[in-house]
Structure 1
Amino acid sequence: MALLVSLLGGNQAMSWILILLMSAACLQAGNSPGSKNKSTFGVNQPTNLSGVQGGSIEIPFSFSFPWEMAQNSQMRILWRWQHLLGVFIYNSSSGYTHEHFKNRLFLNWTQPQTSRVLRILDLKEKDQTKYFCQVQLNTTEGMKGLQLVAGTQLTITHAISTIMQRPSIITSVVTTAGLEDTEGQRNPSLVNLGAKVGVVVATAVLITPVCVLRIFLWWKKR
Structure 2
Amino acid sequence: MALLVSLPGRIPDMAWVLLLLLPAACLQAGNPEGSNRESLYGLDQPTHVSGVLGGSIEIPFFFYFPWKLAPDPQMRILWRWKHYHGEIIYNSSSGFIHEHFKDRLILNWTQPQTSGVLRILDLKKKDQTVYFCRVHLKTTNRMKGFQSIDGTQLTVGPAVSTTVQSPSIVTSAVTMAGLEDTEGQRNRSLVYLGATVGVVVATAVLITPVYVMLIFLWWKKRPAD
Same fold (TM over 0.5): yes
| Distance in 1 between residues matched to 2:161 and 2:36, nearest whole Å | 44
The root-mean-square deviation of aligned C-alpha atoms, in Å, is 3.4
Shift of 1:125: 0.7
2:178 corresponds to: 176
What's 2:73 paired with? 73
Corresponding residue of 2:159: 159
Partner of 1:139: 139
Runs of 4+ in 1 over 6 A off after TM superposition: 183-186, 191-194
The structure whose Rg is larger is: 2
User: Which structure is higher in RCO with an 8 Å CA cutoff and minimum separation 6?
Assistant: 1
TM-aligned CA distance change 1:109 to 1:120, over 3 Å: same
Residue of structure 2 equivalent to 1:50: 50
Q: Which aligned pairs between 1:1-222 and structure 2 lie closer than 5 A?
A: 30=33, 38=37, 40-163=40-163, 175-179=177-181, 181-182=183-184, 187=190, 190=193
Q: Aligned with 1:175: secondary structure?
A: helix
- Name the amino acid aligned to 1:152: T
Q: Partner letter of residue 179 of structure 1?
A: D
Residue type at the aligned position of 2:67: W
Distance in 2, matches of 1:123 and 1:107, equals: 16
Amino acid at match of 2:190: N
The CA distance in 2 between the partners of 1:51 and 1:108, in whole Å, is: 19
Partners of 2:82 and 2:115 in 1: CA distance? 22
> TM-score, normalised on structure 1?
0.61
CA distance in 2, matches of 1:147, 1:189: 88
Is the alpha carbon distance of 1:163 and 1:37 closer, same or farther for their aligned partners in structure 2, counting shifts above 3 Å? farther
Tell which deviates more after alignment, 39-48 or 98-107.
Answer: 39-48
Which structure features the higher share of helix residues? 2
Deviation of 1:96 after TM superposition, in Å, equals 0.8
The structure-2 alpha-carbon separation of the partners of 1:116 and 1:180, relative to structure 1 and needing over 3 Å to count, comes to farther
In structure 2, the residue matched to 1:22 is none
Aligned to 2:21: none
One-letter code of the match for 1:105?
Answer: L
CA shift at 1:86, angstroms?
0.5
Range with bigger deviation, 151-160 or 111-120: 151-160
Q: 1:187 offset after TM fit, Å?
A: 3.1
How far residue 47 of structure 1 moved from its aligned partner, in angstroms, is: 0.8
- Classify the secondary structure of the residue corresponding to 2:110: coil
Point out the more displaced range, 120-129 or 181-190: 181-190
Q: Say if 1:188 and 1:74 are closer, same or farther in 2 by CA, change over 3 A.
A: same
Question: Among the aligned pairs, what percent are the same residue?
Answer: 54
AA aligned to 2:158 is H
One-letter amino acid of the counterpart of residue 180, structure 2? G
Residue 51 of structure 1 deviates from its aligned partner by 1.1
Which amino acid letter does the alignment assign opposite residue 178 of structure 1?
A: E
AA of the residue aligned to 2:133: C
Cα distance, 1:37 vs. partner?
7.4
Q: CA deviation at 1:129?
A: 0.2
